């Protein structure tokens, strides 16, 4: 593993990866990591202008297509486009998602369903659509982006937390069912990370700005993307069904400062 600036570079030479929600934030950082590692990437998103701009910045190794992850026909079209442009599929990163911040009793049924539809059903459709293509290619890697909220109970995340626990479970099922086809399925569980989705919460980067995590800071998209790239690579060839927490220790336990008030 080499380093490019502050981003770890993993060898992904020759691999073709589809990344949903890749227009910005974590998805864009993951796309950058794939290209830096020598791979090619199809970015998909509903944010057309931002997605096209991100792909353009990455150059000839990247493409963009508009894609609603809740639509089976959109999934089929996106993966067919990846094959047409790059000739193969080696990896899928199910990153697209939305967040929520409501107490359970205040969450509307409509919003709960919307969050689950995008965050969980979208992952299911993506896996289902990609499996035959990966199998034809002799195997590959599926990386599903869950959350630290998919490892523990987190208040104010009724729809989000439930969907991310679902992604965690679906990843386990996929890992068990697809191992014989040499398709690995793992989940990544980011902690609080500074992205356009989390920016409205008012979080700040830098040391000491997130005392709830033992490391005392929020993560960067590049730090999460490095873990994603590793799971896409052959270096993780014996990893499937794993839950990789990239959360600054947040799910490990309460900090000394929190317990002592110091």
CA 158 – CA 193 distance, rounded (Å): 19
DSSP string computed for 106-160: G--HHHHHHHHIIIIIHHHHHHHHHHHHHHHTT-EEEEEE--GGGTS--TTBHHH
255 with 213: CB under 8 angstroms? Answer: yes
What three-state secondary structure class fits 7? strand
What is the distance between the alpha carbons of residues 84 and 73, in angstroms, rounded to a whole number? 16
Q: What is the DSSP letter of 98?
A: -
Q: Catalytic site residue 210?
A: no
Q: Give the C-alpha separation, 171 to 149, whole Å.
A: 15
Q: Which of 160, 210, 238, 258 is catalytic?
A: 160
**CA-wise closest residue to 76 among 64, 86, 68:** 68
The torsion angle over the Cα atoms of residues 125, 129, 135 and 140, rounded to 10 degrees, is -60
Q: What are the tokens at 148? A: 């630290």
Active site amino acids: 160
């Amino acid at each position: 593993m080499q380093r490019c600036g502050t981003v770890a570079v993993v060898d992904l030479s020759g691999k073709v990866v589809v990344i949903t929600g890749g227009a910005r934030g974590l998805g864009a950082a993951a796309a950058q990591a794939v290209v830096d590692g020598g791979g090619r990437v199809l970015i998909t998103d509903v944010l057309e202008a931002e997605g096209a701009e991100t792909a353009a910045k990455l150059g000839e190794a990247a493409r963009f297509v508009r894609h609603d992850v809740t639509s089976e026909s959109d999934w089929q079209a996106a993966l067919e486009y990846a094959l047409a442009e790059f000739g193969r599929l080696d990896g899928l990163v199910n990153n697209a998602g939305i967040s929520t911040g409501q107490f359970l009793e205040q969450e509307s049924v409509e919003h709960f369903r919307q969050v689950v539809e995008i965050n969980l059903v979208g992952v299911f459709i993506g896996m289902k659509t990609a499996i035959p293509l990966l199998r034809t290619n002799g195997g590959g890697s599926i990386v599903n982006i869950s959350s630290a909220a998919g490892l523990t109970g987190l208040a104010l995340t009724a729809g989000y937390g439930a969907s991310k626990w679902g992604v965690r479970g679906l990843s386990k099922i996929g890992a068990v069912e697809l191992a014989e086809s040499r398709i690995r399925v793992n989940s990544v569980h980011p902690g609080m990370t500074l992205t356009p989705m989390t920016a409205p919460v008012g979080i700040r980067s830098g040391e000491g700005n997130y005392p709830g995590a033992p490391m005392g800071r929020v993560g960067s998209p590049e730090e999460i993307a490095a873990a994603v790239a590793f799971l896409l690579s052959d270096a993780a060839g014996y990893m499937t069904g794993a839950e990789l927490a990239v959360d600054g220790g947040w799910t490990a336990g309460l900090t000394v400062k929190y317990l002592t008030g110091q």
